[in-house]
Amino acid sequence: MNHKTIRVGRSRDNDVILDHSSVSRHHLEFFYDNLGNVFLTDLNSSNGTFVNGRRITGSVQLNHNDIVKAGLSDPIPWRNYLSQTSSNSGREYQTDPNYSPRYENQSPKSGGPWKTIAITLSAVVAVVGLGFFANEYLLGEDKPVELDPDKPNNEEVQPEKRKEKNKEITYDFSCLEDDEDLGTTKVIDILSGIDSDVTEALGGEVTIQEEEELGDDLLRDCRNEYSFIENGNKIKNLRGLLKRLVDQIKAPKGYHYSIYLIESDELNAFTAGAKIFVTTRMYDFCRSNDELACVIGHEINHNELGHIKEHIQKSKILGDEGAALASFATIPFGQKKETHCDLTGIDLVIAAGYNGCVNIELWKRMKQESQEGEYNAFENLFRSHPYSDKRANCSHNHIRNNYGFDCDTKEEVE
């Protein structure tokens, strides 16, 4: 038997086409070698490749009775792919004489050149793996280990990571406007823009060190006001989430991020100087790691987008540099800035392998939890945060326009 490489996915250029919404365009591939061994490789799929119900990473060697699934699709009849053509695609399978599969978690059979390769790579993986586990991550996983059993990863069909790395992500804030707002949103946007321009012109330069000093002051004030949870699954989980999200920042400003879990009945999260605070009520309110990631991603971007810097500039202008630090928990950044953080937070979340669609449901539940009430144009003039319905709508539009995925139907769109 000649060795073969058989690629499986939803795109028409695959050898085997699986028409299922949870299957990525290029989801996985099989490699059949000259010795009769079969190796399965996940191609960084969004919804995972599973062998006997266990999600794999990299390449694994298959046994004859193994059951393989792509995402939520039916089991794949991979043993039938030894024939020359696929009943699904009607095309000859491609072969590549120079192909060498990737290995990360495999159990090769004894004998043959694969054993030597496996032993060598296993040693490398073991060394690298120690570093990953030191940071509480599982080597090669799309998502980190679930350190808190009460916060499972969301396993619904989700948007794929962006394949076109050079294509610029767009941020459309027209979602904040509608016929009911009577023009109030546009007025708010204009006034906010003038305020930012004046603050930038008069506030002077602000260094990363100054921002982080503000964060240190806020931390001291919070320690006087709140009890901190320093140990256990919850804080470990938050630290793991933070690290994974920070690693996805495209052009980091150079902050040293840290995260804290504080005991409070307020449904809140806030930040200053790269220090992020999450209340126990917010932690418990979030149903999955994906929802927590959306909350943390939002707070990260208050720093990265310069919102903390602007607050310091205003304090300098008003001559009140050290005032009201603890009230940072409720500081208003403005409707457009809050929405911008929602959307850039979603970008971090999806890049880190989480499901950005959960941000929509999160804001719908936030509306119910906070008893926000229905939209009121007059009240909108005095709000520092957009209505939750609009934030959910903006999140939906952002994912659809930039990731080609409809979070309502769980399907890709043009």
Closest by alpha carbon to 296, among 249, 226, 231?
A: 249
In the 3-class helix/strand/coil scheme, how is 192-255 assigned residue by residue? HHHHHHHHHHHHCCCCHHHHHHHHHHHHHHHHHHCCECCCCHHHHHHHHHHHHHHCCCCCCCCC
> How confident is the model over 85-104, as pLDDT tens digits?
434 443 433 333 343 333 33
> Judging by DSSP bridges, how do beta strands 275-279 and 258-262 pair with one another?
parallel
**Cα–Cα distance between 63 and 110 in angstroms, integer?**
13
The pLDDT of residue 329 is above 90? no
Helix 358-370, helix 289-304: angle, nearest 10: 90
> How confident is the model over 264-282, as pLDDT tens digits?
999 999 999 999 999 999 9
Q: 34-48, 109-123, 337-351 — which is least confidently predicted?
A: 109-123
What is the mean predicted confidence (pLDDT) over 326-343?
73
Tally of CB atoms within 10 A around 352: 22
Supply angle C-alpha 59, 289, 259, rounded to 5.
Answer: 110
User: What is residue 222's predicted lDDT score, i.e. its pLDDT?
Assistant: 94
User: What is residue 406's predicted lDDT score, i.e. its pLDDT?
Assistant: 94
**Cα–Cα distance between 240 and 280 in angstroms, integer?**
17
Helices (H) and strands (E) in the chain, counts: 11, 13
The residues facing 9 across adjacent strands are: 17
**Can you tell me whether residue 352 is helix, strand or coil?**
coil
The residues facing 16 across adjacent strands are: 8
> How confident is the model over 18-61, as pLDDT tens digits?
988 788 889 999 988 888 889 999 998 888 899 988 888 888 99
Q: Which of 43-57, 383-397, 399-413 is the most confident on average?
A: 399-413
What is the mean predicted confidence (pLDDT) over 115-125?
52
**Cα–Cα distance between 172 and 158 in angstroms, integer?**
21
What percentage of the chain reaches a pLDDT higher than 70? 70
Supply angle C-alpha 388, 411, 406, rounded to 5.
Answer: 25
**Cα–Cα distance between 321 and 249 in angstroms, integer?**
29
In what side-by-side order are the strands of the sheet with 269-272?
A: 258-262, 275-279, 269-272
- The DSSP 8-state label assigned to residue 175 in this structure reads G
**Cα–Cα distance between 146 and 137 in angstroms, integer?**
9
The pLDDT of residue 1 is above 50? no
